[in-house]
Structure 1
Amino acid sequence: MNHEKPVALVTGGGTGIGRSAVLTLAGAGYDVAINYSSSKAAADETARAAADLGAETILIQCDVSDDAAVRQMLAQVEQRFGRLDALINNAGTTSAISPKDFEGVTAENWDRVFAVNVRGMFQVTRAAVPMLKAAGGCVVNTASIVGLRPGPQPLAYATSKAAVVSLTKVLAYNLGPDIRVNAVAPGWMEGDWMKRMLQDNYDRLMERRARLTPLKRCVTADDVAQTMLSLVQGNRFVTGEVVVIDGGFSSST
């Protein structure tokens, strides 16, 4: 198969950062494989929006913590497109347990967060290596500012994102020179994720964070997607790096 357009796979591609990444890549001329775990309706809508931008898409339901399912997902991408130029490892999960509730963190909760956020990221990357290597492709992982500094996020989630930072560097070291691997670390981001975390305090705390940020607003999913695209299409001599996207907040506090 000789598929002329570049192809990207976005995990967790139905909502949030994943949705913005799909649409940004579609607008830049990529065909896109959209992975989702449970948000089928949202993934369907994202696929329609990507198609409106000219992208050929494939929807693949897969829990990235399931290695057999991950390998089947990459087989579907290869069968459909025959190539993979960019992998956006965005699938992630968290918990509702307060970061100060140490006793509330169960082994099952901890293991589930790490299975998706860390092991799942590795499994998808491992399965994608042959196609990425053939294309001279790249990987962009979704980390978080709480993987670099403490923040009001559940313990397992914050620790898993620190592991993503380390995994990014380890993968970059071992996959070079054929495949570049970088990560993005968004700060406080507008939207449903932070609404679930902050609940009734969302508006007040987000407004306060914006005031304390040099660029005077909080990050959006589109901001993150644009940075991802720049790491995919440019920055050809950059690998193993984590790009913080927080409007300068972390550098000013």
Structure 2
Amino acid sequence: MSGWLEGYVALVTGGGSGIGAAVAERFVAEGASVVVMGRDQDKLAAVVKSSTDPDRMHAVAGDVCSADDLAGAVAETIDRFARLDTLVPNAGMWDFQRQLTKLTADELSRSFDELFAVNVKGYLLAAHAAWPELVKTRGSIIMTLSNASFYVNGGGPVYTASKHACLGLMRELAYELAPKVRVNGVACGGMNTDLRGPASLDLADRSIATAFAKRGSDAPPPPIPLHDSSTDPRDFTGSYVLLASREQSGPITGQAISVDGGMGVRGFRSDAGGNHL
């Protein structure tokens, strides 16, 4: 590891599993102290316990849809580590590519409200809670985006709309918080994580990791140039370290680093999504 984040303090939402937990542990390895926030206290405790330096990681249970919970997480970060340099809004859910034509009007309405509350409002509320402390340290915000922030069919219409919204939010906040706070994003491709779906679609207990497990070793590779690249979330964390470091990315704001296996230069194979209609 490079030690690029020596002395930094970060707050990571959705830190109980997946890319959030991986980023938190990578930040610790790079010298940072990290507060992980999530709804499941047991998962958070397991992340802290498994850390290479548990004394530099702290768990705070809370809901990213609650402004009070996020304000509390920021306050606890300051109380525990005295400062905040980096906010990583990361908590999210996926819609498992539920197409418009496969949803009832009621399912569409309820899943939109639930998914946007986490994926978009959760990011906005986190930024609102953290910006005063980030101004003090000339810190940064790094949003977990997605290939669906740029391209279609990385999810259904609800998820894709939410991730496009996050891309716009990242750019708007990069303007509004400059020159004191940098705001960037990491647009991840498919990862083998415990990402869940909305309860309104009966997907709260379904994990994307199950789909990866079903693929098997003989499954055809995904249609991307780096089709043999890793899906381990730990291998996606380098861009977060780069963007967090003032010394390495001080002039960078309003940008999204795509870590998607080259999807942007290849795209998907299907000619039309409605051929079945």
User: For residues 74 and 156 of structure 1, what CA distance do their matches in structure 2 show?
Assistant: 29
Indicate the RMSD between aligned Cα atoms, in angstroms.
2.5
Q: What's 2:104 paired with?
A: 103
Give identity over the alignment, percent. Answer: 26
How far is 1:152 from its partner?
A: 4.6
Q: What's 1:193 paired with?
A: 195
Q: What's 1:170 paired with?
A: 172
User: For residues 173 and 210 of structure 1, what CA distance do their matches in structure 2 show?
Assistant: 36
2:138 aligned with 1:127, yes or no?
Answer: no
Q: How do 1:67-82 residues align onto structure 2 when only pairs under 5 Å count? A: 67-82=67-82
Q: How do 1:147-162 residues align onto structure 2 when only pairs under 5 Å count? A: 147-162=149-164
Asked whether the equivalents of residues 186 and 219 of structure 1 are also in contact (C-alpha less than 8 Å), the reply is no
**Residues 12 and 108 of structure 1: CA distance in aligned 2, closer, same or farther (over 3 Å):** same
Q: Secondary structure at the match of 2:64?
A: coil
Asked whether the equivalents of residues 26 and 55 of structure 1 are also in contact (C-alpha less than 8 Å), the reply is no
TM-score (norm 2): 0.81
User: For residues 155 and 263 of structure 2, what CA distance do their matches in structure 1 show?
Assistant: 17
User: For residues 195 and 44 of structure 2, what CA distance do their matches in structure 1 show?
Assistant: 17
Structure 2 counterpart of 1:230, one-letter code: L
Q: What's 2:44 paired with?
A: 43
**Residues 217 and 97 of structure 1: CA distance in aligned 2, closer, same or farther (over 3 Å):** closer
Structure 2 counterpart of 1:131, one-letter code: E
Q: What's 1:19 paired with?
A: 21
Runs of 4+ in structure 1 off by over 4 angstroms are 197-202, 204-207
Of residues 226-235 and 9-18 in structure 1, the stretch that sits farther from structure 2 once superposed is 226-235
User: For residues 46 and 97 of structure 2, what CA distance do their matches in structure 1 show?
Assistant: 31
**Residues 123 and 193 of structure 1: CA distance in aligned 2, closer, same or farther (over 3 Å):** closer
How far is 1:96 from its partner?
A: 5.0
Q: Which of these residues, 223, 226, 241, is aligned with residue 238 of structure 2?
A: 226
**Residues 77 and 16 of structure 1: CA distance in aligned 2, closer, same or farther (over 3 Å):** same
Q: Which has the higher helix share?
A: 1
TM-score (norm 1): 0.88
Structure 1 counterpart of 2:239, one-letter code: T
Q: Which of these residues, 231, 240, 249, is aligned with residue 263 of structure 2?
A: 249
Structure 2 counterpart of 1:32, one-letter code: V
Q: Secondary structure at the match of 1:69?
A: helix
Asked whether the equivalents of residues 188 and 218 of structure 1 are also in contact (C-alpha less than 8 Å), the reply is no
Asked whether the equivalents of residues 192 and 209 of structure 2 are also in contact (C-alpha less than 8 Å), the reply is no
Structure 1 counterpart of 2:79, one-letter code: Q
How far is 1:198 from its partner?
A: 8.5
**Residues 146 and 209 of structure 1: CA distance in aligned 2, closer, same or farther (over 3 Å):** farther
User: For residues 31 and 92 of structure 2, what CA distance do their matches in structure 1 show?
Assistant: 26
Q: Secondary structure at the match of 1:243?
A: strand
**Residues 206 and 227 of structure 1: CA distance in aligned 2, closer, same or farther (over 3 Å):** farther
Deviations, residues 39-67 of structure 1 (Å, cap 9, x unaligned): x22211111122x3365222111111111
Q: Secondary structure at the match of 2:98?
A: coil
Deviations, residues 80-120 of structure 1 (Å, cap 9, x unaligned): 22200111111112345722424263322211111111111
- 5+ residue gaps, structure 1, are none
Paired residue total = 248
Structure 1 counterpart of 2:69, one-letter code: A
- 5+ residue gaps, structure 2, are 1-5, 197-205, 268-277
